[in-house]
């Protein structure tokens, strides 16, 4: 479980110029004042949505006398990032927050992150593979510390696949055929659901298909949110929805979870981190789920569906202490074990630090998956992620545009709206748009 992948590489050196990070150290302010004048421990505020956060904070607080962490849960996705950005503007941001890889360029370029080079640069350089370093380091500056990789994975009900005579689909053509078979056998059951509210999933599927939503041309950004590969993916899912072959529940909504638990939805498109949430949301289905590689377009390939790092938000007065907490979370055996020890909200995140993968695997109870080695499968899928993907400098706005238009008109119109927002946002931020 120490395999790594070059597939996460970004054209970081060139992208830095386009981000404007070479010209100005955005968010580099925030001198650390980590020694409390009254002798009391430094208190850090930590915002995240990730599973296992509560047990992690409790373990840290038990073993550290000079630093205490207060944990607050925030929503995931665009809502959570809006909350973080607004908190920075209002001057009441937390010290530490979870930042997914797709949001690091945007948060850094907007000045929402403190430059951690002095505090964590060496850690990132020595503890993480170059491919992961490139996602959090721009212009020679380290902006966040990586935690996990998030390869796509396909989860399915073994008992219901057997009941309906369904083979695990290896390609998207086979997926459609299976969806048709399920609907024919039971008009109230569907093979899967494709949420219209999850642009991150659409991005991962486009990534798998060979799409490149952003690239760099010299010092200019070249958005390709509606490129040929992404259009293929959007057309495919619009077609399945039009033919009523899949559901469109909001991801991880009560309705979607109920459909899975009741057997109305037989499978779903997830990632390595999905396994932990299944134990919590569907505890009665232990032993009835299994995981497989994501169906592909004819050649083994995958996309990265999420993946998180930890950053220190602008305005924090405790950068050194915050970095100590982050370093413990990402590179310390006790930190990784603690994240998986929370029985109320277990995590199945795949550590980006290769040294920590065996630690995580040893703590994860595979009983829910009838003994299947989820971590081994996830590690294998990391190597299938298509290289060359670059995240944009206005990713949150692009996601919002896609989500809003998709809800009204479908995925094909959604990616067109995303393309328009990408072009407009790059120009509005004073960055150069490729001709």
In order, the DSSP letters of 271-320 are ETTHHHHHHHH-GGGTTSEEEEPPPBSSS--B-B---EEEEEBTT-S-HH
Expressed as residue numbers, the domain containing 208 is 152-303+390-428
19-28, 169-178, 276-285, 352-361, range with greatest mean pLDDT: 169-178
Q: Which of 365, 381, 400 is the last residue of a domain?
A: 365
For 308-364, what is each residue's pLDDT tens digit? 999 999 999 999 999 999 999 999 999 998 887 766 667 788 998 989 988 888 888
- Looking at residue 294, what is its pLDDT? 98
For 32-85, what is each residue's pLDDT tens digit? 456 555 678 999 999 999 888 999 999 999 999 999 999 999 998 879 999 999
3-class secondary structure, 61: helix
Q: Is 409 part of any domain?
A: yes
Same domain, 266 and 172: yes
Tell me if the pTM is above 0.95. no
Same domain, 204 and 330: no
Q: In angstroms, rounded to a whole number, what is the distance separating the alpha carbons of residues 207 and 325?
A: 33
Question: Is residue 425 within 8 Å of 402, Cβ to Cβ?
Answer: no
Q: Is 383 part of any domain?
A: no
Q: Is 22 part of any domain?
A: yes
Same domain, 334 and 355: yes
Same domain, 216 and 359: no
- Looking at residue 95, what is its pLDDT? 98
Strands 308-312 and 96-100: antiparallel
**What CATH number is attached to the domain comprising 28?**
3.40.190.10
Same domain, 291 and 402: yes
Q: Is 384 part of any domain?
A: no
Same domain, 53 and 137: yes
- Looking at residue 34, what is its pLDDT? 61
- Looking at residue 339, what is its pLDDT? 82
Question: Is residue 393 within 8 Å of 109, Cβ to Cβ?
Answer: yes
- Looking at residue 1, what is its pLDDT? 31
Question: Among 203, 206, 152, 156, which Cα is nearest to 384's?
Answer: 152
Tokens representing residue 355 in the block? 């040294």
Same domain, 15 and 160: no
Question: Is residue 74 within 8 Å of 313, Cβ to Cβ?
Answer: no
Same domain, 80 and 224: no
Same domain, 139 and 258: no
Q: Is 385 part of any domain?
A: no
- Looking at residue 77, what is its pLDDT? 82
**For the residues 175-187, what does the mean pLDDT come to?**
98
pLDDT surpasses 90 at 24: no
**For the residues 122-134, what does the mean pLDDT come to?**
86
- Looking at residue 344, what is its pLDDT? 66
Q: In angstroms, rounded to a whole number, what is the distance separating the alpha carbons of residues 399 and 401?
A: 5
pLDDT surpasses 80 at 15: no
Q: In angstroms, rounded to a whole number, what is the distance separating the alpha carbons of residues 112 and 154?
A: 35
Q: In angstroms, rounded to a whole number, what is the distance separating the alpha carbons of residues 80 and 108?
A: 16
pLDDT surpasses 50 at 379: yes
Q: Is 314 part of any domain?
A: yes
Q: Is 375 part of any domain?
A: no
**For the residues 217-245, what does the mean pLDDT come to?**
96
- Looking at residue 129, what is its pLDDT? 77
pLDDT surpasses 50 at 422: yes
Same domain, 186 and 143: no
Question: Is residue 230 within 8 Å of 297, Cβ to Cβ?
Answer: no
As for how many domains the chain has, the answer is: 2
How sure is the predictor about 19, in pLDDT bands with cuts at 50, 70 and 90? low
- Looking at residue 20, what is its pLDDT? 53
Q: Percentage of residues in the chain with pLDDT exceeding 90?
A: 70
The sign of the dihedral angle between the CA atoms of 289, 290, 293, 298 is: negative
Question: Among 52, 8, 6, 28, which Cα is nearest to 146's?
Answer: 8
- Looking at residue 17, what is its pLDDT? 47
pLDDT surpasses 50 at 28: no
Q: Is 433 part of any domain?
A: no
Distances (CA, A) of 181 to 160, 166, 374: 13, 8, 28
- Looking at residue 23, what is its pLDDT? 39
Same domain, 142 and 168: no
Q: Percentage of residues in the chain with pLDDT exceeding 70?
A: 90
Q: In angstroms, rounded to a whole number, what is the distance separating the alpha carbons of residues 187 and 427?
A: 48
CB neighbours (10 Å) of residue 121?
17
How sure is the predictor about 204, in pLDDT bands with cuts at 50, 70 and 90? very high
Same domain, 260 and 395: yes
Least confident of 74-88, 167-181, 267-281, 341-355: 341-355
What value does the mean pLDDT of the chain take?
89
């Amino acid at each position: 479980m120490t395999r790594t992948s070059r597939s996460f590489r970004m054209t970081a050196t060139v992208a830095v110029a386009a981000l404007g990070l070479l010209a100005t150290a955005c968010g580099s302010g925030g001198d650390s004042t980590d020694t409390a004048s009254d002798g009391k421990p430094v208190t850090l505020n930590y915002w995240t949505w990730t599973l296992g956060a509560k047990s992690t904070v409790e373990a840290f607080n038990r073993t550290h006398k000079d630093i205490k962490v207060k944990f607050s849960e925030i929503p995931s996705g665009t809502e959570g990032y809006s909350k973080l950005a607004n908190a920075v503007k209002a001057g009441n941001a937390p010290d530490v927050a979870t930042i997914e890889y797709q949001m690091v360029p945007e948060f850094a370029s907007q000045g929402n992150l403190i430059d951690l080079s002095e505090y964590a640069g060496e850690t990132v350089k020595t503890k993480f593979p170059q491919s992961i370093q490139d996602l959090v380091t721009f212009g020679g500056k380290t902006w966040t510390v990586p935690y996990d990789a998030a390869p796509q994975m396909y989860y399915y009900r073994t008992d219901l696949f057997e009941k309906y005579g369904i083979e695990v689909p290896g390609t998207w053509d086979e997926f459609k055929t299976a969806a048709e078979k399920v609907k024919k056998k039971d008009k109230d059951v569907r093979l899967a659901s494709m949420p219209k509210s999850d642009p991150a999933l659409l991005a991962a599927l486009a990534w798998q298909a060979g799409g490149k939503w952003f690239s760099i041309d010299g010092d200019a950004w070249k958005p390709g949110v509606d490129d040929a590969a992404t259009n293929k993916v959007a057309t495919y899912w619009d077609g399945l929805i039009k033919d009523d072959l899949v559901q469109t529940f909001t991801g991880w909504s009560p309705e979607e979870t109920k459909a899975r638990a009741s057997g109305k939805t037989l499978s779903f498109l997830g990632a390595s981190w999905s396994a932990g949430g299944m134990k919590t949301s569907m505890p009665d289905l232990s032993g009835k789920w299994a995981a497989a590689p994501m169906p592909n377009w004819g050649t083994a390939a995958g996309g990265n569906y999420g993946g998180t790092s930890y950053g220190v938000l602008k305005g924090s007065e405790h950068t050194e202490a915050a970095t100590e907490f982050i370093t413990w979370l990402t590179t310390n055996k006790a930190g990784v074990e603690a994240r998986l020890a929370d029985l109320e909200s277990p995590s199945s995140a795949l550590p980006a630090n290769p040294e920590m993968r065996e630690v995580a695997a040893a703590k994860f109870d595979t009983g829910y998956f009838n003994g299947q080695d989820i971590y081994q499968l996830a590690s294998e899928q990391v190597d299938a992620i298509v290289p060359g993907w670059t995240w944009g400098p206005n990713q949150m706005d692009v996601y919002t545009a896609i989500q809003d238009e998709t809800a009204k008109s479908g995925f094909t119109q959604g990616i067109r709206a995303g393309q328009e927002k990408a072009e407009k946002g790059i120009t509005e931020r004073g960055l150069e748009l490729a001709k």
